[in-house]
Amino acid sequence: MQPSAAWRALTRRDLLLTSWPWRSLAYLVTGVLLGEVILVVFLLALFTSTILALLLVGIPLLLALGFSGIPVAALERRRLRIIDPEPAATPHREPDLPGPREWIALRLQEQATWRELAYVVLLVTVLWPIELLAVAFGLGAPASMILTPVLRSQTGEVRVLKFWLVNTEWEAFAALIAGVVWLGLALYPLTLLAAAHGVLARLLLASRETEIGQRLDELTRSRTRLVEAFEVERRRIERDLHDGAQQRLVALTMTLGLAKLSEGPEAAELVGRAHEQAKLALAEIRDLIRGIHPQILTDRGLPAAVADVADRSPVPVEVSVELPARLPEVVESIAYFVVSEALTNVAKHSGAREASVTGRLDGARLVVEIRDDGAGGADATRGTGLAGLADRVSVVNGRLMLSSPPGGPTLLRVEIPCTSIAPSE
Model confidence over 51-104: pLDDT tens digits? 776 666 656 666 777 788 888 888 888 888 888 777 777 787 777 667 778 888
Phi and psi torsions of 356, nearest 5°: -145, 150
State yes or no: pLDDT of 219 exceeds 80.
no
pLDDT in tens, 153-190: 666 667 666 667 666 677 777 777 887 888 888 888 88
Q: 379-390: string of b/e by CB count within 10 Å (b at 16+)?
A: ebeeeebbbbbb
Question: Are 372 and 352 in contact, with CB atoms under 8 Å apart?
Answer: yes
Q: What is the DSSP code (8-state) at residue 17?
A: G
pLDDT at 363: 81
For the residues 123-152, what does the mean pLDDT come to?
82
Mean pLDDT over all residues of the chain?
77
Query: 346 vs 277, which has greater pLDDT?
Result: 346
Strands 158-160 and 355-362: unpaired
Q: Between these two residues, 88 and 213, which has the higher pLDDT value?
A: 88
pLDDT attached to residue 2: 47
Q: Which amino acid is at 13?
A: R
pLDDT reported for residue 425: 41
pLDDT band, residue 380 (cuts 50/70/90): low
Please list, in sequence order, all residues whose beta carbon lies within 8 angstroms of the beta carbon of residue 421, skipping any fewer than 6 positions away: 325, 326, 327, 328
One-character DSSP codes across 181-226: HHHHHHHHHHHHHHHHHHHHHHHHHS--HHHHHHHHHHHHHHHHHH
Looking at the DSSP bridge assignments, the partners of residue 357 are: 319, 370
Cβ atoms of 270 and 259 closer than 8 Å: yes
The CATH architecture that domain 295-417 belongs to is 2-Layer Sandwich (3.30)
Establish whether the linkage from the previous residue to 129 is cis, with ω within 30° of 0. Answer: no
Classify residue 147 by its DSSP letter. T
Residue 118 CA neighbour count, 13 Å, CB half: 10
Whether a cis peptide bond, with omega within 30° of 0, leads into 314 is no
Q: How confident is the model at residue 419 (pLDDT cuts 50, 70, 90)?
A: low
- At 222-281, the pLDDT tens digits run 555 555 555 555 665 666 565 556 666 766 777 777 777 777 777 777 777 777 777 777
Residue 317, beta-bridge partner list:
355
Higher-confidence position of 391 and 233:
391
More confident call, 140 vs 220: 140
218 versus 321: which is more confidently predicted?
321
Q: Please determine, for residue 367, whether its predicted confidence score (pLDDT) is greater than 60.
A: yes
Cβ proximity of 414 and 399 under 8 Å? yes
How many percent of the chain have pLDDT more than 70?
A: 73
Lowest-confidence region among 43-57, 225-239, 323-337: 225-239
Distances (CA, A) of 254 to 140, 199, 263, 275, 392: 104, 80, 16, 12, 43
pLDDT at 197: 87
Residue 129 pLDDT more than 50?
Answer: yes
Residues 105-114 have a mean pLDDT of: 82
pLDDT above 80: residue 392 = no
Q: Give the pLDDT score at 231.
A: 55
pTM, full prediction = 0.48
Residue 234: Cβ within 10 Å count: 10
What is the C-alpha to C-alpha distance for residues 319 and 316, in angstroms, rounded to an integer?
10
Contacts for 35 with CB less than 8 Å, ≥ 6 apart: 123, 124, 127, 128, 129, 131
What torsion, rounded to 10 degrees, do the Cα atoms 343, 348, 354, 359 define? -10
- CB of 112 closer than 8 Å to CB of 227: no
